């Protein structure tokens, strides 16, 4: 096996068909080593063996085995045994929730479809029981359903025993005729699902689910049903402020032994945080299908994508997420490494900042963005950041549904000030600035004047140190550079503020033809970056220290480099 090490080009094993033992250095501490070893799996009532036997009797239209027998590879078999084998003394299944995180191409759809049939028409079904394929939209939900329907259509006995409804624009259902056990699809209309009592739910690709309505409806329905089972089958996602990360984080903690929960089975095929994404040994470790005969996904296809990703950052991040199953932050081309950013998570003692000099960066918004006041303090060579966020109260849930971030909870916890109406009340922002000025020794209050003219003039009229900080390339270039230097050098202390982290994780950078970073930007409308923009402004003004107050870029030693970009 290839060992992980730094390299400038792709590294492949000498023998494409041999996976060998998985080196612990390649995979995370949550990795399911039991999937590949021969450790015993409890099955006191034979339910695990029964489930495997049912799946092996299924047929699949794409199978190359004799009689088109359903392919259940060894790693899949152990997962099935681990779900259905362990029971209590009364024969009740211990596992109630499965978190299965696999990279793209690992055939999780086929396995999920087969398990859904086990719960709908197989030995695990109950009369009139309800099973559900749930996804972010109808198209995604239909993928697993079609897989299950194709499995049934491959066997005349199952065709005779069931009724399949899959007409266009009609509710999709598979019904077991003799006792009305049903498998159906649902998607984003979560409100319509309240009151249901599913016994089995397959939650597909939750990393792309928007909002929590469907999730909450299905979870509350499952809790009403004895012996229910939730299987979450997904590829790695992005970001930390969303439904999928909450579930993933819980699964990791169970897998690492930090939480004891025998009802929750985490199966997380992910690389070590510092694993080299270009190393084929990493690919083989997190793609269990690559050790099968024939292997899957296509190794040559992975190599082609990896070669392209070496030179293209956006493709690189996509490759890491979908093919090495590494959980990423929101941005496809992040401004800073969020693992490095997180080095500043240590709690901030606010009492030590009282009366200290600080510089404010203020980024005011339209109705679709956050407004933020960012206070930057100097502690030797370090910057300490204290953010204050504002959002229109009427837009909180809309922003939450669109971005997946918990805006409603953030507002309830005081991390965001929700102002009445559907636009930010700038009077509340101005009032907060005045409060900050009375509590700290504010040296400057820097505004982009585009939306701040009234506040800026009000503060200046009262003798407060308000200045203009236009967000053009000439001003932002040195600001971005100073903020980036602070993050990379681990000189940025932010206390792990979740809204500020969300903004940094969303932030990408725009470069000009000279390669200079001239503007911070976001990839999607609802992914706020306002906190990062305000941080760049505040840190830049704090960096010039005693010369602050002029509001001029020429205070910075790097102004000549900035101007060179326009030559």
pLDDT band at 106 (very low <50, low <70, confident <90, very high): very high
**Residue-wise over 148-181: b if at least 16 C-beta within 10 A, else e?**
bbbbbebbeebeeebebeeeeeeebbbbbeeeeb
Q: What is the pTM of this model?
A: 0.69
DSSP 53-87: HHHHH-B-TT--SGGGBPP--HHHHHHHHHHHS-B
Chain centroid to Cα 328, Å, comes to 6
Domain 338-564, CATH among 3.30.420.240, 3.40.50.300, 3.30.420.40, 2.60.40.10: 3.30.420.240
443, 357 contact by CB (below 8 A): yes
272, 28 contact by CB (below 8 A): yes
pLDDT band at 330 (very low <50, low <70, confident <90, very high): low
- pLDDT for position 523: 67
232, 203 contact by CB (below 8 A): yes
Condensed to tens digits (0 to 9), the pLDDT of residues 155-206 reads 999 999 999 998 877 789 999 999 999 999 998 654 456 557 899 999 999 9
Q: Specify whether domain 93-268 bears CATH 1.10.8.80.
A: no
Condensed to tens digits (0 to 9), the pLDDT of residues 205-214 reads 998 887 788 8
Neighbours of 462 (CB within 10 A): 10
Distance CA 444, CA 143 (A): 56
Domain ranges of the chain: 93-268, 270-328, 338-564
Of residues 120 and 333, the one with the higher pLDDT is 120
Domain 93-268 matches domain 338-564 at the CATH topology level: no
Token readout for 310 is 């070496």
Residue 352 Cα distances to 140, 355, 558, angstroms: 52, 8, 32
Condensed to tens digits (0 to 9), the pLDDT of residues 447-466 reads 988 888 899 999 999 999 99
Percentages helix, strand, coil for the chain (3-state, rounded to 5) are 40, 20, 40
Residue 279's beta-bridge partner residues? Answer: 11
Residue 107 Cα distances to 237, 283, 383, angstroms: 18, 15, 47
Neighbours of 307 (CB within 10 A): 13
């Amino acid at each position: 096996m290839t060992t992980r090490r730094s390299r400038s080009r792709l590294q492949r094993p000498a023998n494409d068909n041999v996976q060998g033992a998985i080196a612990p250095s390649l995979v995370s501490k949550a990795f399911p080593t039991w999937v590949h070893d021969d450790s015993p799996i409890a099955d006191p009532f034979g339910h695990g063996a029964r489930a495997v036997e049912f799946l092996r009797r299924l047929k699949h239209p794409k199978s190359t085995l004799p009689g088109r027998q359903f392919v259940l590879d060894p790693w899949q078999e152990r997962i099935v045994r681990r779900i259905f084998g362990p029971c209590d003394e009364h024969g009740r299944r211990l596992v109630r929730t499965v978190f299965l995180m696999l990279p793209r191409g690992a055939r999780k759809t086929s396995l999920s479809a087969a398990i859904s049939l086990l719960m709908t028409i197989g030995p695990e079904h109950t009369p009139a029981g309800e099973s559900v394929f749930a996804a972010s939209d109808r198209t995604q939900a239909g993928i697993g359903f079609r897989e299950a329907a194709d499995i049934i259509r491959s066997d005349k006995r199952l065709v005779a025993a069931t009724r399949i409804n899959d007409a266009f624009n009609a509710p999709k259902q598979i019904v077991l005729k003799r006792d009305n056990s049903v498998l159906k699809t649902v998607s984003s209309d979560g409100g319509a699902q309240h009151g249901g009592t599913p016994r089995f739910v397959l939650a597909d690709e939750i990393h792309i689910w928007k909002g929590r309505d469907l999730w909450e409806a299905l979870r509350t329905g499952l809790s009403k049903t004895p012996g229910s089972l939730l299987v979450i089958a997904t590829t790695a996602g992005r970001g930390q402020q969303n439904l999928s990360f909450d579930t993933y984080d819980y699964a990791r903690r169970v897998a690492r032994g930090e939480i004891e929960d025998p009802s929750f089975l985490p199966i997380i095929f992910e690389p070590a945080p510092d694993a080299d994404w270009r190393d084929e040994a990493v690919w083989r470790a997190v793609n269990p299908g690559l050790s099968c005969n024939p292997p899957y996904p296509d190794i040559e296809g992975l190599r082609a994508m990896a070669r392209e990703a070496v030179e293209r950052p956006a493709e690189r991040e996509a490759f890491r997420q979908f093919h090495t199953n590494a959980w990423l932050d929101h941005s496809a081309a992040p401004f800073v490494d969020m693992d490095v950013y997180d080095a500043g998570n240590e709690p901030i003692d606010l009492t030590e900042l009282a009366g200290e000099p600080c510089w404010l960066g203020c980024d005011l918004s339209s109705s679709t963005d956050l407004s933020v006041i960012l206070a930057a303090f100097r502690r030797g060579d370090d910057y300490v950041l204290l953010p204050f966020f504002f959002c229109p109260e009427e837009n909180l849930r809309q922003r939450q549904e669109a971005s997946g971030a918990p805006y409603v909870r953030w507002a309830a916890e005081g991390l965001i000030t929700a102002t009445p109406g559907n636009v930010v009340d700038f009077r509340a922002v101005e009032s907060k600035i005045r409060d900050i000025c009375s509590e700290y020794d504010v040296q400057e209050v820097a505004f982009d004047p585009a939306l701040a003219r009234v506040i800026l003039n009000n503060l200046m009229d009262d003798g407060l140190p308000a200045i203009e900080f236009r967000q053009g390339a000439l001003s932002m270039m040195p600001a971005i550079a100073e903020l980036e230097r602070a993050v990379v050098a681990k000189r940025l202390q932010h206390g792990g503020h979740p809204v500020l982290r969300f903004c940094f994780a969303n932030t990408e950078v725009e470069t000009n033809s000279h390669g200079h970073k001239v503007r911070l930007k976001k990839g999607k409308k609802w992914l706020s970056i306002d906190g990062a923009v305000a941080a760049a402004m505040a840190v830049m003004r704090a960096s010039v220290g005693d010369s602050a107050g002029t509001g001029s870029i020429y205070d910075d030693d790097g102004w000549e480099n900035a101007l060179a970009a326009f030559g």
